[in-house]
Amino acid sequence: MPYLETVQELLEAKEGEHVQFKEAKNRFDFGEAAKCCCALANNGGGKLVFGITDKRPRSVVGSAAFDQPERTRMGLIEKLKVNVDFQLFNYERKRVLVFDVKSRPIGLPVQYDGVAWIYEGDTLKPMPEDMRRSIYEETGGDFSGTICAGATVDDLDETAIENFRAKWIEKSGKKQLATLSKQQLLHDCGAITDEGVTYAALILFGKNAAIIKYLPQAEIIFEYRSSEASGPANQREEFKVGFFACYDRVWELVNLRNDKQHYQEGFFVFDIATFNERVVREAILNAVSHRNYQFGGSIFVRQFRDRLVIESPGGLPFGITLDNILDRQLPRNRRIAEILSLCGMVERSGQGMNLMFELSVQEAKPLPDFTGTDDFFVSVTLNGLILDKAMLSVLNRISERGAELLSTEDFLVIDALYHERPLNEKMQSRLNRLIEMGIVEHIGRKKYVLARSLYAATGKTGVHTRHVGLDRDTNKELLLKHIRQNNEVGTPFKELQQVLPGLNRNQIQVLMRELKEDEKVVCKGKTSAARWFIIK
């Protein structure tokens, strides 16, 4: 029978980077199997065999591991994001299970629990950094700038091209662009070259038939869901056309259900849209500019009542992480980014992401949320509901002091302080400037709070008092505790400075004066011989 020949071939196969044998007579750990399959995928694909000995001469011992191989297969696919198949053999009444693992995607190592495993001979080990870097460099060339064999200018949509022309004229002020032929316009912006039509041209201007023929995954799918329930969306539209033919329609669909939120300041009532047009457009532009068009999958724009979720295939570009996403730019599709910048849709590399964060803070909404982002997909959630309307009054007062002078990091500091979140090192570096602008106050050792005048604008001066007061009371309690422990001999002032090294001499003197006025402590002696005691 054919399967006997297959098992016979396995018995004679060389164990190593493409075939691994495990006896696993009774069971085998799923995590260990996932690591093995991860390494096989990173080595170009291979087979993980259960029920055959690994030492020569090999023999079939049979394995009871993974009695539901289809379930295991689906678990491996979910964890590794790479295709896995399996075969079951009954060889001399002994069960042999073989998982067939496909090769990793071009330009992307496969990982299990954050580690990219490989086989070096028979040894399982983490992938060296130089190997990881070389894999990422496989797609280092600009895919969007390469020529699509067989595509012609006739595959490009007139409406999309004219939409681009109008925006380029508006951005540049060059009215002579209106006189250029279609071919010359596309040649001048780099969409076509003497060699032919680039993939960027198809992605931005392609007709439906051309997209289906040459780049079927280059589509945007919009869905609206009125609830979290699974099942068909309440509304769904698919756009398998060039981006310049559909980008306005995508926003129109979002804006159809774009509620207004109201807040009042004094006699005036202001409206803020749940979904900020600029933020939504920037998020979609990022997806179009940075997705990996060599991966299957589409860009999804999923709208719910209170949030928008935008997903794009390919993960973050090499070198970009969620920690440096606001500081480091590496456009995956440079030709697309260059064409979008000509017409003002992308003003400068990386600005769109910064703008999304800044506008979210300015509208007192949650920051863009990248939960769900991994090596294969980027997911960004734009939560549209205002967190605290009082914060809008704070931000209005800040704008009066020159909000145009503030950086993205400055806005993140303001947001963190208002919501009482810790500041990272980068945020801390902005504090001195914000103190000089009267936006932030320093209230103690590594303790900062928004200025009292900002809270006064919201009627929440009590919040400011709580921040300052808690810190002040805590410092007093620390001083009292130290004095109490040394009450038999008394405490010199220099020891009090050691208790609170973050405060200067004058600040500690003020605290001791207040404790003395409250009749909690007394000072005996003068100058350097003075000692502080608890009043019992």
Query: Above 50 in pLDDT, residue 518?
Result: yes
Q: Identify the pLDDT of residue 178.
A: 95
**From CA 450, how far away is CA 416, in angstroms rounded?**
10
For Cα atoms 120, 79, 39, give the angle at the middle one, nearest 5 degrees: 5
Do the beta carbons of residue 408 and residue 358 sit within 8 Å? Answer: yes
**From CA 413, how far away is CA 421, in angstroms rounded?**
9
Structure tokens at 493: 């002032």
The verdict on whether omega for the bond into residue 331 sits within 30 degrees of 0, i.e. cis, is no
Q: How many CB atoms lie within 10 A of CB 161?
A: 22
Q: Identify the pLDDT of residue 171.
A: 86
| Tens digit of each residue's pLDDT (9 = 90 or more) over 230-286 | 788 899 999 999 999 999 999 999 999 999 998 887 777 789 999 999 999 999 999
SS3 150: coil
**From CA 81, how far away is CA 375, in angstroms rounded?**
9
Could you give the C-alpha distances from 139 to 85, 218, 295, 318, 355, in angstroms and in order? Answer: 27, 17, 11, 10, 28
Query: For 374, how many CA atoms within 13 A lie in the half-sphere containing its CB?
Result: 13
Q: Identify the pLDDT of residue 284.
A: 95
Q: Identify the pLDDT of residue 356.
A: 93
- Between 433 and 247, the more confident residue is 247
- Between 107 and 482, the more confident residue is 482
Q: Identify the pLDDT of residue 4.
A: 38
Nearest CA-CA partner of 80 in 62, 63, 103: 103
Query: Above 90 in pLDDT, residue 397?
Result: no
SS3 83: coil
| Tens digit of each residue's pLDDT (9 = 90 or more) over 318-365 | 778 888 888 766 678 888 988 998 888 875 444 678 889 999 999 999
Could you give the C-alpha distances from 379 to 75, 91, 274, 291, 324, in angstroms and in order? Answer: 22, 46, 19, 11, 16
Region 412-421: what's the mean pLDDT? 92
| pTM for this entry | 0.66
Query: Above 60 in pLDDT, residue 368?
Result: yes
Q: How far is CA 134 from the centre of its chain?
A: 23
Element (H, E) at 264: strand 260-265
Structure tokens at 11: 């018995």
Q: Identify the pLDDT of residue 2.
A: 37
Region 447-454: what's the mean pLDDT? 85
pLDDT confidence bin for 74, thresholds 50/70/90: confident
**From CA 398, how far away is CA 410, in angstroms rounded?**
11
Do the beta carbons of residue 293 and residue 333 sit within 8 Å? Answer: yes
Q: Identify the pLDDT of residue 139.
A: 59
Query: For 495, how many CA atoms within 13 A lie in the half-sphere containing its CB?
Result: 20
DSSP 8-state assignment for residue 59? -
Nearest CA-CA partner of 339 in 145, 209, 523, 126: 145
The two beta strands, 46-50 and 19-22, are: parallel
Structure tokens at 66: 């993974």
| Tens digit of each residue's pLDDT (9 = 90 or more) over 169-182 | 998 899 999 999 99
Write down the residue that tokens 């009695």 correspond to.
Answer: 67
Query: Above 90 in pLDDT, residue 61?
Result: yes
**From CA 461, how far away is CA 452, in angstroms rounded?**
6
| 235 burial level (CB within 10 Å; 0-12, 13-18, 19+) | middle
pLDDT confidence bin for 136, thresholds 50/70/90: low
Mean pLDDT computed over every residue of the chain: 87
| Tens digit of each residue's pLDDT (9 = 90 or more) over 466-512 | 666 667 788 888 899 899 988 888 899 888 888 887 778 888 888 89
SS3 77: helix
